[in-house]
Amino acid sequence: MSPQRVPRPSDYGYSAFHPRVWHGMTLAAWRRIAAGNVSRIAPAKWPLVASICLAALANSGVAAAGSVVSGKLAGGQEPAADPLFILGYWRSGTTWLHELMNADPRHCSTTGIQCFLPDSFALHGVLGPVLDAILPETRPQGDMPFSMSTPQEDEFAILNLGLETPYRFMAFPSRGFGPQVAAEFWPDGEARRRAWLEAWLGFLAAVQARNPQRRLVLKSPAHTARLDMILDAFPNARFVHIGREPHALFASNIKLLTAMLTTQTLEAGIPPAEDLADFVFAMHARVYGAWFSQATRIPKGNLHVLRFEELAREPEQAVRDICRALDFGDCDAFIEPLRDLIATRQGHKVQQYPGLDPAVSARIDEEWADYARYFGYRVG
C-alpha cells in the first residue's frame, strides 16, 4: 500500500496535543506496536510518538501497582451472570445498542477509562474527568457522544493490553492488511492463545469485580469472528447480532476508516480510497467467514438477530424484543432511564450516503450476498 496525504486530524476535533489510543499502553504493549515500524513514523509525528513513549513509561509503573489492586479486586471473580455480547460489523449500530442495553441497572459494561488504561484503571479514577475535559466530546467517525465514563468496546482494552487485534492496523496502515488478517483477531499458536485469553479474562474479571451482581454487556465488532473463543470461555453466553443494509454499511465503513486513520495513524498519510475499499472487503470476509462457520455452536435461545433499520426506527421496541428473546425479564424495570437515553438522540438523522461506484456496488452484491440473505436484505 502506498500512503496518500490524509485529511487533517483537526477536521475531527483532534489537535497534536490530544491523547491517542496508543497513550494508554504500557512499554511492553507499545513495543509490540512499534517493533519493525520505526522507519514508517512521519517526522511530524515524532513529538506525538515521544509523548506516547513517556506515557507508556508512566503507565508501566502505575500498572505494576495497579495489577496488585486489580488482582485483589478480581481474585477469582466469576461473571455474575452469563455475559451478553453485542455483535455485528462495524457501523451497523452496535455502539447505540450497547448504550441502550446498559440503561438496565442490572447490566454493566467496560467504560472508556477502563479500556484506555486496562492495566491500571483501578488507580486512575481521577483521570477520567481530566481526559473528558481534554478529548473531543464526540467520536471521530460520527456524532455519537464520547466519555470516559460511558460504555466502550473492550477491543480498545485488548489493543492497549498489547494483544492481537485488527486495531493495530491504525498505527501503520501502509503495512497493509493481507495474509495476517486471521492472526489479528486470534493469535496463532496454543501458548499465545492461552496468554491472550488469560489477559482478556483477567481484565473482564477486574471490571466485574467493580460491578458485582451485574451482567457484563460486551461489544466489539471483532468478537463476531471469535465465537469459538467466547463460547469456550462462556458456554452459555447470550448474543445480539445486528446487521445493516450492505451498501450503506460499506459507505459508512469507508467514513469510519478515514476518520480513525486520520486521527490515529503515526504515518504521514493513509491508504488511498481503493485500498480502504479492499480493507473493508477483506475484513468483512474474515469476520463473516468465521461467523458462518462458528455460529451453529450458540445454544438454542441464546441468540437474537435484528437489523439496524429496526433499531433506528423503534429503539425501545428493539430493546424489549431482546429482553424477551434472551429471557432477561421485563424492560419496565428500567423503562424510564431507557426512555431518557433515547430522548437524548431525538432529532438524530442517520447519515445518507451518495451512490457508490457501480463496480463497488457490484462487488458488494457478489461478495456480501450471504450476509444480505442472513439479515433479510435484498440481494443484487
What would the pLDDT profile of 307-339 be if each residue is shown by its tens digit? 999 999 999 999 999 999 999 988 888 999 999
Between 185-189, 190-194, 261-265, 336-340, the lowest mean confidence (pLDDT) is in 185-189
Give the residue numbers spanning the domain of 217: 12-375
Q: Radius of gyration over alpha carbons of the chain, in Å?
A: 20
What does the pLDDT read at residue 286? 93
Specify if 279 maps to a domain. Answer: yes
What does the pLDDT read at residue 355? 81
Confidence of residue 281 (pLDDT cuts 50, 70, 90): very high
Phi, psi of 86 (to 5 degrees): -95, 115
Q: Which three cell numbers stand for residue 81?
A: 451472570
Q: What is the mean predicted confidence (pLDDT) over 288-317?
A: 97
Confidence of residue 186 (pLDDT cuts 50, 70, 90): confident
Specify if 139 maps to a domain. Answer: yes
More confident residue, 14 or 207: 207
Residue whose C-alpha cell reads 485500498 in the numeric block: 275
More confident residue, 186 or 271: 271
Average pLDDT value over all residues in the chain: 89
Specify if 5 maps to a domain. Answer: no
More confident residue, 45 or 355: 45
Top-ranked range on mean pLDDT: pick from 89-103, 124-138, 271-285: 89-103
Q: What is the mean predicted confidence (pLDDT) over 228-243?
A: 97
Specify if 55 maps to a domain. Answer: yes
Specify if 64 maps to a domain. Answer: yes
Q: Which three cell numbers stand for residue 159?
A: 489493543
Specify if 380 maps to a domain. Answer: no
- Give the DSSP H or E segment for 131: helix 127-134
What does the pLDDT read at residue 31? 96
Q: What is the domain-level CATH number for residue 158?
A: 3.40.50.300
Phi, psi of 284 (to 5 degrees): -60, -40
Specify if 7 maps to a domain. Answer: no
pLDDT digits (tens, 9 = 90+) for 97-127: 999 999 999 999 999 889 999 987 866 565 6
CA distance 81 to 247: 37
CA distance 293 to 225: 9
Instruction: Please check the confidence at residue 271 and state whether its pLDDT lies above 70.
Output: yes
What does the pLDDT read at residue 339? 97
Whole-angstrom distance between the N-terminal and C-terminal Cα of the chain?
30
CB contact at 8 A, 165 and 199: no
Q: How many domains does the chain have?
A: 1
What does the pLDDT read at residue 69? 52
Instruction: Please check the confidence at residue 1 and state whether its pLDDT lies above 60.
Output: no
Top-ranked range on mean pLDDT: pick from 38-42, 118-122, 185-189, 376-380: 38-42
Specify if 1 maps to a domain. Answer: no
254 closest CA partner among 280, 218, 292: 280
Confidence of residue 166 (pLDDT cuts 50, 70, 90): very high
Q: Which three cell numbers stand for residue 375?
A: 439479515
pLDDT digits (tens, 9 = 90+) for 33-80: 999 999 999 999 999 999 999 999 999 988 877 665 555 455 556 776
* Helix 315-325 with 335-343: angle, nearest 10 deg: 140
CA distance 143 to 156: 19
